[in-house]
Amino acid sequence: MSILFNSAWADTATAAPTGGGSPFPLLVTMGVVFVVMYFMSIRPQQKKQKEMQEMLGTLTKGDEVVFAGGLMGKISRLQDDYVVVEVATGLELKVQKNSIIANLPKGTLKTI
């Protein structure tokens, strides 16, 4: 049997069992990961959401807007949570304010 396998000799000196160690490095690492996640994903998302709410709050009659589906039009009436938008001459649509993704500069619809 020794031809195929070398003999394995166990080490006679056994290592002393160690304690669990300090949890401080683990807590520091987790804290650093949380801070990085906050500045890379949470904070920019909150900033973008705040800008969107400000844009929706400043909409007025006559503003040219773009919707999430790509539809563009001019605001003809504002209601609480809804906006009536003229997308073509004589064609008005009633949509939710939350579907508006951008406020276009004046005259954009005439150039398209």
pLDDT in tens, 60-97: 999 999 999 899 999 999 998 999 999 999 999 999 99
Strand arrangement of the beta sheet that strand 100-104 belongs to: 91-96, 82-88, 72-78, 64-67, 100-104
13 secondary structure, DSSP code: S
Q: What is the pLDDT of residues 9-51, one digit of tens each?
A: 655 555 556 656 788 999 999 999 999 999 999 999 999 999 9
DSSP 72-111: EEEEEEE-SSEEEEEEETTEEEEEEGGGEEEEEPTTHHHH
* Exposure class string for 44-57: b at 16+ Cβ within 10 A, else e: eeeeeeeeeeeeee
pTM to 2 decimals? 0.65
